[in-house]
C-alpha cells in the first residue's frame, strides 16, 4: 500500500506534483508515494490501480494550480464530469477517511465549496498548503511536516530508514592502518628520473609522526657515471630536494 497519493491534473501543476513526489519519496521511501505516471506499471489496469491507491492511501495531496477548475477546450469544466479521474481520486480518498491536503500552486485562490461538485465540497474546508517557486524549500519542508502529522506511521518509517542509512554508512569498508601502533603520515617513494640525472626509488617510505616534514626515503642514485652512492635514508623537506617530483601526502 502507498501511504501518500499525489493527485494532479495534467497541464495544471504536474511539475509541482513531480517535485512533491521526489521529495516525499526521498524522505519516506519510494514505495510509500503513489503518482500515476510513475507508479502504474506498463500493461497494468490503470483504473484498478488508481482506485486501489486512492482508496488505500493515508494522505492524498491534491495539487491545485490556476487552471485546475477552469473549463477545457470544449467550454466545459472537467471537474463537473463524474468520470473525471481527478475528482474520482479525491472522492475515493474522502470516502476512505484519508487526510486530504490541498496544495495551492503559486497564487491560486482558495477553493470555495459553491464552486465544487457536492462530492468535492469538503475539499474547500480542508486546511491547505501553498507551493511557491520562490519559497520552494521551506514550502516543501512544511508539506513534509504536514504529511508526518497526518500519518504518524510515515514518521516512524522515515526514522527507521534514516537508521538503516546510518548503519550502511557505518558498515562501509574504509582505510585501515595495519600498523596499529603507528600514527602519522605515510610517504610513498617511487623510482623517478629527472632530466636523466637523479632518481628516487623505494617502496612505502618513512612513517612520520607529527608534522609531515619528511618527504623522501629510499635510495638515491647520482649521476650517469661510475658514482653510485647508496644512502639508506635521506631526510629533508620537499623544497630541499632539487628536481624532486611532486607527491601527494595522505593521512
- Going by pLDDT thresholds of 50, 70 and 90, the confidence category of residue 28 is very high
Tell me the C-alpha distance between 223 and 232, whole Å. 17
Q: Mean pLDDT throughout 185-208?
A: 47
**What integer pLDDT is reported at residue 81 of this predicted model?**
95
Chain center to CA of 14: 20
pLDDT above 60: residue 205: no
List Cβ neighbours of 146 (8 Å cut-off, separation of 6 or more): 101, 129
**Hey, what domains does the chain have and what are their CATH numbers?**
4-161 (3.40.50.10140), 185-240 (no CATH)
Question: Which region among 23-32, 118-127, 232-241 has the lowest average model confidence (pLDDT)?
Answer: 232-241
Q: Give pTM, 2 decimals.
A: 0.64
More confidently predicted of 60 and 193: 60
- What would the pLDDT profile of 34-80 be if each residue is shown by its tens digit? 999 999 999 999 999 999 999 999 999 999 999 999 998 899 999 99
- Going by pLDDT thresholds of 50, 70 and 90, the confidence category of residue 152 is confident
pLDDT above 80: residue 32: yes
Mean pLDDT of the chain: 77
Q: What is the sign of the dihedral through the CA atoms of 104, 109, 115 and 121?
A: positive
**What integer pLDDT is reported at residue 173 of this predicted model?**
62
Residues belonging to the chain: 251
Q: What is the sign of the dihedral through the CA atoms of 68, 71, 72 and 78?
A: positive
Tell me the C-alpha distance between 48 and 98, whole Å. 18
Question: Which region among 11-15, 60-64, 216-220 has the lowest average model confidence (pLDDT)?
Answer: 216-220
Quick one: residue 243, left, alpha or beta (phi over 0 = left, psi -120 to 50 = alpha)? left
Amino acid at each position: 500500500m502507498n501511504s501518500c497519493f499525489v493527485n494532479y491534473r495534467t497541464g495544471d501543476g504536474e511539475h509541482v506534483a513531480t517535485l512533491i513526489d521526489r521529495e516525499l519519496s526521498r524522505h519516506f521511501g519510494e514505495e510509500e508515494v503513489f503518482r500515476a505516471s510513475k507508479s502504474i506499471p506498463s500493461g497494468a489496469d490503470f483504473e484498478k490501480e488508481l482506485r486501489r491507491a486512492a482508496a488505500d492511501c493515508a494522505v492524498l495531496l491534491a495539487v491545485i494550480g490556476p487552471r485546475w477548475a477552469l473549463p477545457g477546450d470544449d467550454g466545459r469544466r472537467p471537474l463537473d464530469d463524474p468520470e473525471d479521474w481527478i475528482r474520482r481520486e479525491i472522492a475515493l480518498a474522502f470516502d476512505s477517511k484519508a487526510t486530504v491536503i490541498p496544495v495551492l500552486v503559486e497564487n491560486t485562490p482558495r477553493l470555495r465549496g459553491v464552486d465544487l461538485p457536492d462530492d468535492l465540497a469538503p475539499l474547500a474546508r480542508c486546511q491547505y498548503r501553498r507551493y511557491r517557486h520562490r519559497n520552494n524549500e521551506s514550502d516543501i519542508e512544511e508539506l513534509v511536516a504536514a504529511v508526518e502529522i497526518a500519518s504518524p506511521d510515515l514518521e516512524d518509517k522515515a526514522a527507521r530508514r534514516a537508521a538503516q542509512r546510518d548503519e550502511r554508512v557505518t558498515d562501509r569498508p574504509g582505510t585501515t592502518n595495519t600498523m596499529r601502533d603507528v600514527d602519522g603520515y605515510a610517504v610513498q617513494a617511487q623510482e623517478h628520473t629527472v632530466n636523466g640525472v637523479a632518481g628516487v626509488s623505494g617502496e612505502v617510505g618513512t612513517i612520520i609522526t607529527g608534522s609531515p616534514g619528511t618527504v623522501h626515503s629510499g635510495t638515491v642514485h647520482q649521476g650517469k657515471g661510475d658514482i653510485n652512492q647508496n644512502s639508506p635514508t635521506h631526510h629533508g623537506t620537499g623544497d630541499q630536494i632539487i628536481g624532486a617530483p611532486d607527491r601527494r601526502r595522505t593521512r
